[in-house]
Structure 1
Amino acid sequence: MTRLILIGICSALFFSSTFVLNRAMSLQGGHWIWTASLRYFYMFFMLSLWLVLAGNSRLLRGVFAAFRVNWCFWTLAGSIGFGVFYSLLTFSSSFAPGWVVATTWQSTILATPLVLLLFGKRVPRRGIAFTALIFIGIVLVTCEQASAASIRETVLGVVPVLVAALAYPLGNQLIWEARHGKVVTITDASAAVLDDSVARVLIMVLGSIPFWIVLTLCVQPPAPSGGQLINTAVVAVFSGVIATTLFYKARHLAKTPFELSAVDATQSTEVIFSLLGEILFLGGAWPGVTGMAGVALSLVGLVLYVRSQTVTD
């Protein structure tokens, strides 16, 4: 159990780089569109190279074949699950500190039941009270942000994250529905692609590329700086490759529902790492009493919610 928790915490450490580096690029004047889109262009080449070096060139070809068969669906799923999700997350970093974005991001645990209901799934009743703690914590963090910024900055720094928190589980659920033949017809070759974790991520990245191209052409941002090119590459490696690999490894090693819930709960430490990272590397200030109370409530609520899922109704 200790090993699983340590691996989970390490993955959260690398995941938190997203919030800190996105904020850093924003403070340096980097446009949020490049911060978002470049990550996925980097991930496309990194994951493709990963499959080739791992001797899975056939699987790489399968990703493109599966995409061609259902290109409309994968463009929709990738645009929602990766495009809408990450563009809004990076947009918010232009208006709110990384720790505020990280804390608000925990609302994804509240959005998941809504997505399940949308697809006609049964929503577990366990943990509803604990989601209230998360919500209260987010409200307190929002109040803290509002006291230090204008109403406009507060809204633009928080509301996009709430929408992103809904888009991410929606995109993930679309993958699940596709794998089980609920929304599109899946061939045997496509099923093999969706059974591989790297290939699953890659086909979603591929599906998001039209979104990034259209968004960039519509906004026409100034060219990215050299620093932004480097920082987005670091985010792609740290969060898109290392963090995801560590997290999936920990979940794979878990043998019981309790161990799985413990691994999931470690992701709440992203808030702590984001806060410390912003203070250490960006000269950020410690949040006040209201903000710290909000962070604490969100963390406690998230841990209790995840652990409550191991208890039978």
Structure 2
Amino acid sequence: MFRIVLIGVLAAFFFSSTFVLNRAMSLEGGHWVWSASLRYFWMLGLLGLWLALTGKARLGLDALRLFFRHWVFWVVAGSVGFGVFYALITFSSVFAPGWVVAATWQTTILATPLVLLGFGRRVPLKALALTLIIFAGVVLVNVEQASATSVREVLWGALPVLAAAFAYPFGNQLVWEARVGEKSFVPVIDHPAMDDAFCRVLLLTLGSMPLWIGLILFTAPPLPSMGQVAQTGIVAVCSGVIATSLFLVARHTARTTAELAAADCTQSMEVVFSLAGEAVLLGHAMPGSLGWAGIGLTMLGLTLYVTVQSRS
């Protein structure tokens, strides 16, 4: 359990670059569709290069064959778990600071057990009850944000994140179920490529491509600046490749539902890392008393949640 949590916290550190840089690109006038989609176009090249340099080119080709063999599954899993999730997260950055988006994103800790229940997995109710503390922290953070801006902006900043909080664990759980092979509605994919974190990220990224192409054609955003292209590249490396791979390592190391939930729970640390990043890089002011109280409750909920899970 400790190793899973440690890897998850390290993933949260790299994930926080998403919230900070997406907010920076929004403030600079970059369109959110490019901030979202360019990250995944970058990831395709980066993942292919990584697999080639690490001597896993053949495994990468096997992953491509798996994609075409089960393309419907991967398009669904990738479009929901990577596409819908990240499009909504990036859209929210137009209306709210990165640390507020990161704090609201912690509702995924509430969403994950519900997703697990939807897949027929058992979830410890006492641990689930503790996630309400985290939710209370999220509410306080957004109440403070509403006092600084408007209720409308808070809703546009928060509601898409709430939807994303369900999309991400749903997509990841589909992959987990395919690997385990216990559900009739999910194809059984038993292959060494499924044991490699980078191959799993590659498969989900490929699956998200139809959504990104469709979104670009539908919204027809103005061309991105070179600065936005460069910043999405940084997000792709830090969050899309390093953080996502670390998170999938933590999640796929899990052998029980409790360990799965604990891996997802470590994402609470993104709030702290995002707050620090915005203060240093963007010069944003520190949160007020309600914001700090919300962050404190979020961290307390994380600590209690992991403690209870480790004893179950």
TM-score (normalizing by structure 2): 0.90
Q: Could you say if the C-alpha distance between residues 212 and 146 of structure 1 is closer, same or farther in structure 2, counting changes exceeding 3 Å?
A: same
Post-superposition offset of 1:185: 3.5
Could you give the per-residue CA deviations for residues 69-93 of structure 1, whole angstroms, max 9, x where no partner exists?
A: 1111111110000000000000000
Cα separation, 1, equivalents of 2:90 and 2:198: 23
| SS of alignment partner, residue 78 of structure 2 | helix
Could you give the per-residue CA deviations for residues 189-215 of structure 1, whole angstroms, max 9, x where no partner exists?
A: xx2221221111110000000010001
* Correspondence for 1:186 among 171, 177, 188: 188
Structure-2 residue corresponding to 1:85: 85
Post-superposition offset of 1:42: 0.7
Q: Could you say if the C-alpha distance between residues 103 and 58 of structure 1 is closer, same or farther in structure 2, counting changes exceeding 3 Å?
A: same
Structure-1 residue corresponding to 2:204: 204
Post-superposition offset of 1:44: 1.0
| Contact preservation (8 Å) 1:20, 1:277 | yes
Q: Could you say if the C-alpha distance between residues 192 and 8 of structure 1 is closer, same or farther in structure 2, counting changes exceeding 3 Å?
A: closer
| Contact preservation (8 Å) 1:109, 1:131 | yes
Cα separation, 1, equivalents of 2:63 and 2:2: 36
Post-superposition offset of 1:243: 2.9
| Contact preservation (8 Å) 2:198, 2:241 | no
Structure-2 residue corresponding to 1:58: 58
Q: Could you say if the C-alpha distance between residues 262 and 130 of structure 1 is closer, same or farther in structure 2, counting changes exceeding 3 Å?
A: closer
Q: Could you say if the C-alpha distance between residues 231 and 187 of structure 1 is closer, same or farther in structure 2, counting changes exceeding 3 Å?
A: closer
| Percent pairwise identity | 60
Cα separation, 2, equivalents of 1:67 and 1:121: 26
Q: Could you say if the C-alpha distance between residues 187 and 145 of structure 1 is closer, same or farther in structure 2, counting changes exceeding 3 Å?
A: closer
| Contact preservation (8 Å) 2:145, 2:154 | yes
Post-superposition offset of 1:262: 8.3
User: Cα RMSD (Å) of the superposition?
Assistant: 2.8
Cα separation, 1, equivalents of 2:188 and 2:6: 37
Moved more, 58-67 or 175-184: 175-184
Q: Unpaired segments of 5 or more residues in structure 2?
A: none
Could you give the per-residue CA deviations for residues 36-78 of structure 1, whole angstroms, max 9, x where no partner exists?
A: 1111111111111111111122211111111111111111110
Structure-2 residue corresponding to 1:274: 274
| SS of alignment partner, residue 125 of structure 2 | coil
Cα separation, 1, equivalents of 2:171 and 2:43: 17
Structure-2 residue corresponding to 1:283: 283
Question: What are the equivalent positions in structure 2 for 1:244-283 lying under 5 Å apart?
Answer: 244-246=244-246, 267-283=267-283
TM-score (normalizing by structure 1): 0.90
Structure-2 residue corresponding to 1:39: 39
Q: Unpaired segments of 5 or more residues in structure 1?
A: none
Aligned partner of 2:163: which letter? V
Could you give the per-residue CA deviations for residues 231-280 of structure 1, whole angstroms, max 9, x where no partner exists?
A: 000011111223345556778999xx999998776543221121121122
| Contact preservation (8 Å) 1:261, 1:310 | no
| Contact preservation (8 Å) 2:141, 2:294 | yes
